[in-house]
Each structure stands twice: as C-alpha cells, then as structure tokens.
C-alpha cells in the first residue's frame, strides 16, 4: 500500500518552524467551534438507540458532534504536525474555560422581573462544577494523547495505513476521554448508580469510535485535499511531545 503522502514533499515538523499554511487557521476554527457547540448543545440532552437483543442503549446527544473534534484533531496532526495540533488543543481548552466562566456569570446575574425562563436557563447553562471539571480534564488529556498517538503511529508506519492511525488514535483518545469524564462527573450522584455510569460510558465509547470509523472516507478526502493544497507531508521526527512546550 502506498503512503498517503506519496508525491508530496516529506518534511520533519522541526524544519517547518515559522512556516505559514494556507488553511490551518480554518481547520483550527472548525475544531474550536465543534468543541464549544457540542459541549453546550449536548450537555444535558440524553437519548437512546434501540439495539437488537439489548434494548434501549443510552447516550448523550453531544456524541453526535463531539467526536468530530477528535477527528479534526487527527487531521491537524496528520497534515500540520503535533506542534500545531497542540496549539489548537490549547485554543480549545481556553475557549472551554471562557465559556464556563460566561455561563456561570449569566446564570448568576439578577433575574429581571416577569422573566419566567430562569429555570430552563439554569438547566441548560448552569452546569455543575464537576461536569465542567470532568469535561475540561477529559478533553485536555484525551486530545493530547490522541494527537501524540497519531503522530507516533505515522512515524512508525512510515506514513502508510492512514486508516490504522486514525482508528488506533481514536480508540486510545476516546477511551481515555470516557474513563476520565464519567467518574469525575457522576460517581456518587444519586441518579447515576455505578451500573448506569458503566453502561453510558461503554455506549458512548462504542458509538464515538464507530462514528469516526464511518467517517473514514470523509477523513481521507479532507486529509488528501489539505496535503495537496499545503504541498507538504509532515512527520514529527524529533518533536517535543509535552503539552506545555511552545515550539516543535
């Protein structure tokens, strides 16, 4: 199988320090927007699918869109390298923190006389501090681990088997995300017994991974298009993989 970047100029990420890419900013914005909207829109909505032989299988509505952020994270790493994906993850993390601050502020503002929507407003935007902590921690750790896994698998596979890199990094990243989020957010809550937490955690993980697998053809098309437009195929040889570094 030919490497997906064959025919492009293969370069190490450390040799692209300061380089300008035409479409990086657009991908970064898409990444941050998906993260914010999936957290706000899907935070409280619970739904279910009916599976043969199993019955109702619960999942959070945010699962329909949140996995796209992990997919974009993989695209950023594959096309632009870990260092630029790291920048995008930090942008997403700071944006989540600012949204949490905004939500807390507007929920606690004095209510105007005659306004009857406060209860619904608090239900949607008044997230418990545990939910906020769980969401931000899971995002931070899960995305960085996924991006690092993606970058190292690319070096190990010599740029081949893009599907393997996407699926492998997704399983690792989404698995860590789920293992962090649900215990922090729900353990000890009366309406979330241990068996419910385990069921929801497993269903979320399975659905998120399968959702990204189904999007593999779209991912191939986007990665191929971006690489052709940017003209390079980036490898993270010698990259500093700490989340807190400022350079390559």
How far apart CA 115 and CA 89 sit, in angstroms, is 38
Ranges 19-23, 30-34, 91-95, 136-140: which has the least confidence: 19-23
What does the pLDDT look like over 48-94, one tens digit per residue?
A: 555 555 556 555 666 777 788 889 999 999 999 999 999 999 999 99
pLDDT higher than threshold 90 for residue 221:
yes
Q: Which domains does the chain have, with CATH numbers?
A: 9-235 (1.10.1760)
Average pLDDT of the chain?
84
Model confidence, pTM: 0.86
Most confident of 48-52, 197-201, 231-235: 231-235
Contacts of 111 by beta carbon, 8 Å cutoff, 6+ apart: 118
pLDDT higher than threshold 80 for residue 157:
yes
What does the pLDDT look like over 159-176, one tens digit per residue?
A: 999 999 999 999 999 999
3-state DSSP of 97-134: HHHHHHHHHHHCCCCCCCCCCHHHHHHHHCCCHHHHHH
Predicted confidence band of residue 1 (pLDDT cuts 50, 70, 90) = very low
Predicted confidence band of residue 39 (pLDDT cuts 50, 70, 90) = confident
Describe the crossing of helices 162-186 and 194-214 by its angle, rounded to 10 degrees.
160
């Amino acid at each position: 199988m030919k490497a997906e970047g064959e025919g492009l100029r293969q370069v190490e990420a450390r040799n692209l320090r300061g380089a300008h890419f035409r479409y990086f900013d657009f991908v970064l914005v898409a990444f941050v927007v998906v993260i914010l909207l999936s957290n706000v829109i899907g935070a409280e909505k619970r739904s279910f699918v009916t599976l043969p032989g199993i019955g109702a299988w619960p999942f959070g509505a945010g699962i329909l869109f949140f996995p796209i952020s992990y997919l974009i994270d993989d695209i950023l790493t594959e096309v632009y390298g870990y260092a630029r994906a790291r920048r995008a993850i930090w942008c997403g993390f700071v944006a989540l923190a600012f949204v949490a601050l905004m939500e807390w502020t507007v929920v606690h503002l004095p209510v105007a006389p005659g306004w009857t929507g406060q209860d619904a407003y608090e239900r949607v935007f008044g997230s418990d501090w545990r939910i906020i902590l769980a969401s931000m921690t899971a995002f931070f750790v899960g995305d960085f681990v996924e991006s690092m896994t993606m970058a190292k698998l690319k070096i190990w596979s010599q740029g081949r088997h893009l599907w393997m890199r996407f699926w492998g990094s997704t399983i690792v990243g989404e698995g860590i995300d789920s293992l962090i989020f649900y215990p922090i957010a729900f353990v000890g809550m009366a309406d979330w017994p241990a068996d419910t937490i385990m069921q929801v955690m497993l269903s979320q993980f399975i659905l998120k991974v399968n959702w990204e697998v189904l999007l593999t053809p779209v991912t191939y098309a986007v990665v191929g298009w971006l690489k052709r437009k940017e003209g390079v195929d980036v490898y993270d040889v010698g990259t500093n993989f700490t989340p807190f570094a400022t350079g390559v």
